[in-house]
Structure 1
Amino acid sequence: MADKQKVSEYYTRPPTLGKWESFRQFLWNSETGQFLGRTGASWAKILLFYLIFYSVLAGFFAAMLAVFYQTLDARKPKWQLSSSLIGDNPGLGFRPMPPESNVESTLIWYKSSDKGNVQYWQNQLKLFLTKYNKDNKLQTVEPCTPFQNATAPGKVCDVSMTKSWHPCLEETGFGFEDPKGGPCIFLKLNKIYNWVPEYYNSSNMPNDNTMSEHLKQDIINAEAANEHRLVWVTCEGENPADKENIGTLRYIPYRGFMSQYFPFQNQDGYLSPLVAVHFEEPKRGVLINIECKAWAKNIHHDRADKRGSVHFELMID
């Protein structure tokens, strides 16, 4: 009996508290000096632990990041060509693009007699060609000899849009206001670091019907003039009706991208070569499906993956 009485003296059941009293005691217990269930010394220890823990963790992460950046070059990718995610097969792009509100569309649709209607397409081309303006070019840009090798390291070849680009110039409205003719659509080859095209000549053209006889003859004629070092470009209607409606095409300034612009090596002020395709007499009031392709030995065409080609539609009211 005496032992039971001693136990009851030292171990008494704490008083039953309500929810509000329990929460208030959890916030601050005046009897034990605890705040949120811990004393000041306990809070100091745990804060010191986490301060040291996260400091060491941040230092380790920064050290690993520094080591990682030592393996990278700010001017060239670590993985190039076939070893990279981009691969070694460039695609084609076209400008002007349809409005962003219809991002999946590839339709160029306008009415040449409506200035407000064509203004969007003209403004898109003006914006795209801004860096090709003389005042915006860097000092590293210099004139180059056509169909030759690239310039010295650090230099880039100029894309000079002279009067020979007529009517694909801003002052002529890029052909969008021509009441009888069609617009100028600008093509560009997607940039791949260190990619160099393998040019076609009379001895390495494909024997099958993948390349038109007209293009083969153009390559033979260009080789005779030593002007075959081109990534050739062709545009044509996708279907028989489209081929009838597309009309005559003119490629400006050449029918392809010349060799002096390759390879791209992230040079300061680099200007991607352009080919302006002038649709001289497309049929009006009908939708024309158009496919443009780039031609080199190491460019393979795949519509599904959009490799080596680009598709768009043209409709003029």
Structure 2
Amino acid sequence: MAALNEKKTCSQRMENFNRFVWNPDTGQLMGRTLINWVWISLYYVAFYIVMTGLFSLAIYSLMRTISPYTPDYQDRLKSPGVTLRPDVYGEGGLEIYYNVSDKNSWEKYVTTLHKFLSAYNTTAQHANINCTSEKYFFQKSFLGPNKTKHSCKFTSDMLENCSGLANSTFGFPEGKPCLIIKMNRIINFLPGNGTAPRVSCTAQHEDFSPLELQYYPINGTFNLHYFPYYGKKAQPTYSNPLVAVKFLNITRNTEVTVVCRVIGAGITADNPHDPYEGKVEFKMRIQD
């Protein structure tokens, strides 16, 4: 019994380990003969070759069946989101707060608008074409440069008094600021059911006097020839159409909540789970 409980010395353990790694009496390496190791290695090589082949075949089949231009499923994008520029967020969401006599308070908004509209100057839009139709711009073929589809130009001068060209401060120091509304892209989406969707901005609370506004382009519409959008690969130079809103009668030193909705068939603005679907809401306060 004492022999069974006798502890092996360190040298004995090392000797046993060395014998396990290589046993000269049986010719075994780590408990297996050389031919066994060869068969095991060949098995795993063949196994991983088959697995790699099956994985490659699955990826190849997937890539052959999906379109590089449009996603197979778009069930979460039935109605476009709407965004505002300048997009300055505060504790309560989007906020446009400034003092007409304090340049530092509104200069950041002007800088943001100029930076945003730089993608809409004539140089940036040189690859796009002039479109004059008031209808959807359907394209079945890839007739654009490098086998792409054409995109219609949208240049900042289309925003007229809110383009930043004639008035580089966008009306902020006068207390009549210009804000820009953009509708997000959805592939193959046809808004308006043949009628151009338009932007409509109102004060959220009825106790405020009606807002006096000017929209650019005229009537605040998104021309139909910018739709449908065919995706980034098909239309790499596509630019979202814009609508600018100039606020003319904001009551000074009073916070007003403004809701700008895009009105048109197929566009919803009452989704409680997505406050930016079909509309954008922001707070504005102009001080003097």
Q: 1:28 to 1:234 in 2, by over 3 A?
A: farther
Quote how far apart the aligned CAs of 1:92 are. Answer: 1.7
User: CA offsets per residue over residues 73-114 of structure 1, 9 Å max, x none?
Assistant: 1112223xxxx2234322322122125xx6982222233433
Counterpart position of 2:197: 231
Report the RMSD for the aligned CA atoms in angstroms. 3.5
Quote how far apart the aligned CAs of 1:18 are. Answer: 5.3
Counterpart position of 2:189: 195
**More helix per residue: 1 or 2?**
1
User: CA offsets per residue over residues 176-217 of structure 1, 9 Å max, x none?
Assistant: 642x323221111221111212358xxxxxxxxxxxxxxxxx
More divergent stretch after superposition (149-158 vs 262-271): 149-158
C-alpha separation in 2, matches of 1:196 and 1:273: 14
Counterpart position of 2:52: 58
Quote how far apart the aligned CAs of 1:22 are. Answer: 4.3
Which of the numbers 131, 137, 144 marks the counterpart of 2:119? 131
C-alpha separation in 2, matches of 1:67 and 1:263: 29
More divergent stretch after superposition (117-126 vs 14-23): 14-23
Q: 1:198 to 1:47 in 2, by over 3 A?
A: same
C-alpha separation in 1, matches of 2:190 and 2:268: 14
1:134 aligned counterpart, secondary structure: coil
Counterpart of 1:60 in structure 2: which amino acid? L
Question: Is 1:168–1:278's contact at 8 Å kept on the other side of the alignment?
Answer: no
C-alpha separation in 2, matches of 1:66 and 1:111: 60
Q: 1:30 to 1:188 in 2, by over 3 A?
A: closer
Quote how far apart the aligned CAs of 1:285 are. Answer: 2.4
1:50 aligned counterpart, secondary structure: helix
* TM-score for both structures, normalised by structure 1: 0.71
Counterpart position of 1:32: 23
Q: 1:293 to 1:35 in 2, by over 3 A?
A: farther
User: CA offsets per residue over residues 15-67 of structure 1, 9 Å max, x none?
Assistant: 74357964785477466279995568466654544333233222211110110
Counterpart position of 1:98: 88
1:156 aligned counterpart, secondary structure: coil
C-alpha separation in 1, matches of 2:156 and 2:282: 24
Counterpart position of 1:263: 228
Question: Is 2:175–2:286's contact at 8 Å kept on the other side of the alignment?
Answer: no
Question: What percentage of aligned pairs have identical amino acids?
Answer: 24
Counterpart position of 2:152: 157
Question: Is 1:76–1:265's contact at 8 Å kept on the other side of the alignment?
Answer: yes
Counterpart of 1:78 in structure 2: which amino acid? D
Which of the numbers 83, 97, 117 marks the counterpart of 2:105? 117
1:54 aligned counterpart, secondary structure: helix
Question: How many positions carry a matched residue from both structures?
Answer: 268
Quote how far apart the aligned CAs of 1:146 are. Answer: 5.3
C-alpha separation in 1, matches of 2:92 and 2:46: 52
Q: 1:76 to 1:174 in 2, by over 3 A?
A: farther
